[in-house]
Amino acid sequence: MDEAWLRCVVKVAAAGEAAAATLYGTAQGRRELGAGAGGDGTLAVDLACERAMREVLQREAPAPFLLVSEEAGIVGDEQAPYRVVMDPLDGSHNAQRGLEPFCGSIAVAEGPKLRDVRVAHIKDYTRPHAYSAVAGVGLLSPDLRPDRFSRRAVELVLIEVGRPDRQHFRYHDLSALGAVGRSRNLRIRQIGSLALALCHVALGTADVLLAAVRSRSVDIAAGLRVLKECGGEAVTLRGDDLFEQPLDLVRREAFLAWRAGFSGEELLLRTRELRETLASGLRGVDFG
C-alpha cells in the first residue's frame, strides 16, 4: 500500500507543478481570492495548484482518505483509514513574485499525528528536484552521498522567521548555533519554503533549521518524514516532541530540526538560551 500511495502522490505533485508553471510570477497568479481554510490568504496560483492536485488524488488514490489541505481544509470521512496532508504550494510568497524556490508537499498518514506519516513526497516546482521517503524504508530519492554527515560542526543554518514584527531576538543571538562543533564559518540562509528547508537539512546540505514561526502540519508533515528517514530529528522550541502534533490546520509549533551526525542533547543544551528567547517572544502572538 505504501508503494501504491507513493505512485499516487508523485502524480499529484506533478499536477501541481503543471498548474503553477503558467501562473507563478504573473499578475494573474497573484490575484487574491480571500483566505484559505488554513487562515492564510489564498492566491489564484494556490487555488489552481490545489484544484489540479485534488482531481488527480480523487482519481488515483488507492484507498479511502481524509484530506487535510492548505486551502480546502479538512474534507472527507473522518473514519477513513488514511489522511492525506497536502500543501499544494509551499512558498506562496516566493511563487507570487517569481522567486525560487517553491514546491508541492504531500504526506500520507495512517493516524492523526505527525508521527503517523507513512509516505512523503516533495516536488520542487522550479527545479528537477524531488524528495520521496517511506517510513521504515528510508529515503527513496535522491541518493545520499556517504560524506553528507561527516561534518561535526554547525556551519549552515536555515531559518524561517516569517514577519519581522513578530520576532523577538537579535540576529547576533543566532551565533549560539555555531557553538556545536565550534564552527568559525557559521552562515545563515532563508529560502522561504519549510518543506524544502527540511529536505536540505535531511540531506545534509544544511545542518540545522530554526523555524521561529509557528508551523502547521500541512507545512511540515512530508518534510519531517524525509528528515526522520535520513536520521535527523526535530523538537518544538519548548523542547517537546514535535511528532505529537496533530494532522490538522489548528495546531502550530515553532521548532528546531537538525541533520544526522549531531547529538540532539548537545545541540539543545548549547541553544537553550536562544530557544527560551524565541519561545518567550512567540507566546501570545496571533499567527492566523
Contact yes or no for 35/42 (Cβ under 8 A): yes
**For 33-51, what is each residue's pLDDT tens digit?**
766 666 666 788 999 999 9
pLDDT reported for residue 287:
34
pLDDT at 169 > cutoff 90 = no
Name the CA dihedral angle for 276, 281, 285, 288, rounded to a multiple of 10 degrees.
-80
CA–CA gap between residue 74 and residue 80 (Å, rounded):
12
pLDDT reported for residue 285:
43
**For 128-164, what is each residue's pLDDT tens digit?**
999 999 999 999 988 777 677 777 888 999 999 877 7
Sequential DSSP letters for 93-132: HHHHHTPSP-EEEEEEESSSBGGGEEEEEEEESSSS-EEE
What is the phi/psi pair of residue 30, to 5°? -85, -5
Q: Is the pTM of this model over 0.75?
A: yes
